[in-house]
Structures are given as structure tokens and as C-alpha cells.
């Protein structure tokens, strides 16, 4: 039975997250339904991580084994023919049966997109949190950097979650402007969640994007961090508030949970070098 690793992208707006559920369409459920038709049997799909309802992905990774002998290219074509347009398999590769996309992952990168302007583009409303009113972006950048390193992130975990440890290592925590009209800062729209030249290019620096890379994440952790950074950007808390929140280990001490639709799983990395694999 050949085993395959696939990389997929999806618009999570209309789905109840990654994990198959008793009710509601999910990404895992759609893949398993497509594979059932392809392999004429039940096939279990394992993902690199669970994305919540409304969260998007440009680089989710999953794996499965099938009995039908197919090439990787054939797997891509066959699955895309059976999946809705909002879910696309970008690449496939045959891997050893021992490959586990969750436990083999060395790092994951998420982007969270904030539209900071009076009016949000209709092309962005499904993929960015709309915040009118000025934000102190420099303060948000400074606070974001304080989260790099190994910390106990219990204060940013969804209430009621269960995990063996809430300690996580954050490799990158930064905010970039994604607008086109800021050449003096040397920033490019390609740094942001959608590629340069797409319909999502943004004028007048309306778009901010938070990038975070870590070896693992707690449930709602990125969204709770973003909600806390926005509290600082709005002037409701100082930059030095962040270390106190971390030390508290208390979810009530942190900011609100940012909406799901601004969050994108960008990539999952494997291997000692942390080089992203297709």
C-alpha cells in the first residue's frame, strides 16, 4: 500500500474546521470522502494539525495510505476532481508508511491578517479582521518580539483545553506591513499571506500581517496572542504587559481571542534543517 504526503490549501470560511465531526463539513471529512471514492474503501487521513472552524490554510500537510497503485501526480488530479473548489491539493509525494505529518513536524508558520482601515475591501472580508481606528504598529511589533523563545503560553490557551504541557518554543514572532506604498521600509507584498500580483494586493498600508513560527501551538494560541497585541496597538495596554500575561498563566489576564477568519496556516516544516517540504 503506497503512502502519500499531500500539501493542500483551503478557504475555511464554510467549513467546521479540519477534524471530521458528526455534523458539519470538515476538511478531513472531505478528503476521506474523496479517497473512499478513489480507493473504494474507507481511508484514514492524518493531518499535521487541527485548524478551527473558519481558519484557512495555504500549506496544510496530511498523509494517508491507499491500496490503489497511483503516482503522486495522479493522486493530485484524482483528489482535486473529487473535492470542492474551496479545497485544493497542491502537491503529493510518496513517503514511507512511518511518516506522520503531526509528530514529524518540526515547525509550523501561521499568518494572521488585520485590515486596519475605515472600509475593508470586499475581497478581504473573508480573510482579514477589520479594525477601524489607528493602531500603534511599532508598539505591537515590540510586544510581538517579546514572545520569541521558550515560554509557558498557558495564558494564551483556550479555556478548558487539556494538554500535557503548555510550554512552547516560538522561533519567529513579528508584524509586517503588507501595503504597496511604503518603499522606504523595504517591505514587499510577497511577505504577506497572498502572493504578489494577486487580487489581494493592498493599497495605502491598510493590511497588517502577524507572522508566528513555532515548534507547536496550543488551541487558539495564535488568535489569543493577536487579540492581546491589538490591545497594545489600541493603547489599552503597554508593551510591558505581555511578559506579565505570560507569567500569569491565566487566560483571563490576556486579550480577547481574535476572529478565526483572519488566520492562515502557511506551512509545516520537516527535517533537521527546518526546510519546508512540498
pLDDT, tens digit, for every residue of 91-135? 999 999 999 999 999 999 999 999 998 999 898 999 999 999 889
Q: Which pLDDT band holds residue 206 (cuts at 50, 70, 90)?
A: confident
Q: Annotated active-site positions, please?
A: 52
Give the separation between CA 68 and CA 92, rounded to whole angstroms: 15
Give the separation between CA 220 and CA 82, rounded to whole angstroms: 31
Q: Which pLDDT band holds residue 178 (cuts at 50, 70, 90)?
A: low
| pLDDT over threshold 50, residue 185 | no
**How confident is the model at residue 190, as a pLDDT?**
43
Residue 22: what are its φ and ψ, rounded to 5°? -65, -35
Sign of CA dihedral 188, 189, 194, 197: negative
What does the mean pLDDT of the chain come to? 88
Segment (H or E) for 227: helix 221-233
CB neighbours (10 Å) of residue 276?
A: 16
**How confident is the model at residue 94, as a pLDDT?**
95
Residue 63: what are its φ and ψ, rounded to 5°? -145, 155
Sign of CA dihedral 36, 41, 47, 51: positive
Amino acid at each position: 500500500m503506497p503512502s502519500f504526503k499531500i500539501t493542500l490549501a483551503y478557504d475555511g470560511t464554510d467549513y467546521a474546521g479540519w477534524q471530521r465531526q458528526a455534523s458539519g463539513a470538515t476538511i478531513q471529512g472531505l478528503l476521506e470522502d474523496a479517497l473512499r471514492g478513489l480507493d473504494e474503501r474507507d481511508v484514514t487521513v492524518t493531518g499535521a494539525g487541527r485548524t478551527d472552524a473558519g481558519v484557512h490554510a495555504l500549506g496544510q500537510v496530511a498523509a494517508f495510505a491507499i491500496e490503489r497503485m497511483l503516482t503522486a501526480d495522479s493522486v493530485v488530479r484524482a483528489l482535486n476532481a473529487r473535492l470542492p473548489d474551496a479545497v485544493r491539493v497542491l502537491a503529493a509525494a510518496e513517503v514511507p508508511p512511518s511518516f506522520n505529518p503531526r509528530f514529524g513536524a518540526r515547525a509550523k508558520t501561521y499568518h494572521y491578517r488585520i485590515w486596519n482601515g475605515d472600509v475593508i475591501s470586499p475581497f478581504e472580508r473573508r480573510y482579514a479582521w477589520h479594525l477601524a481606528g489607528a493602531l500603534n504598529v511599532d508598539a505591537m511589533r515590540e510586544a510581538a518580539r517579546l514572545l520569541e523563545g521558550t515560554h509557558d503560553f498557558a495564558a494564551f490557551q483556550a479555556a478548558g483545553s487539556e494538554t500535557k504541557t503548555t510550554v512552547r518554543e516560538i522561533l519567529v514572532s513579528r508584524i509586517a506591513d503588507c501595503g504597496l506604498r511604503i518603499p522606504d521600509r523595504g517591505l514587499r507584498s510577497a511577505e504577506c499571506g497572498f502572493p504578489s500580483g494577486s487580487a489581494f494586493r493592498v493599497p495605502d498600508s491598510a493590511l497588517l500581517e502577524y507572522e508566528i513560527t513555532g515548534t507547536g501551538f496550543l488551541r487558539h494560541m495564535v488568535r489569543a496572542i493577536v487579540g492581546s497585541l491589538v490591545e497594545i496597538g489600541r493603547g489599552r495596554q503597554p508593551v510591558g504587559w505581555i511578559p506579565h500575561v505570560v507569567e500569569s498563566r491565566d487566560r483571563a489576564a490576556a486579550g480577547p481571542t481574535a476572529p478565526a477568519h483572519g488566520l492562515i496556516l502557511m506551512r509545516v516544516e520537516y527535517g533537521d534543517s527546518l526546510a519546508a517540504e512540498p
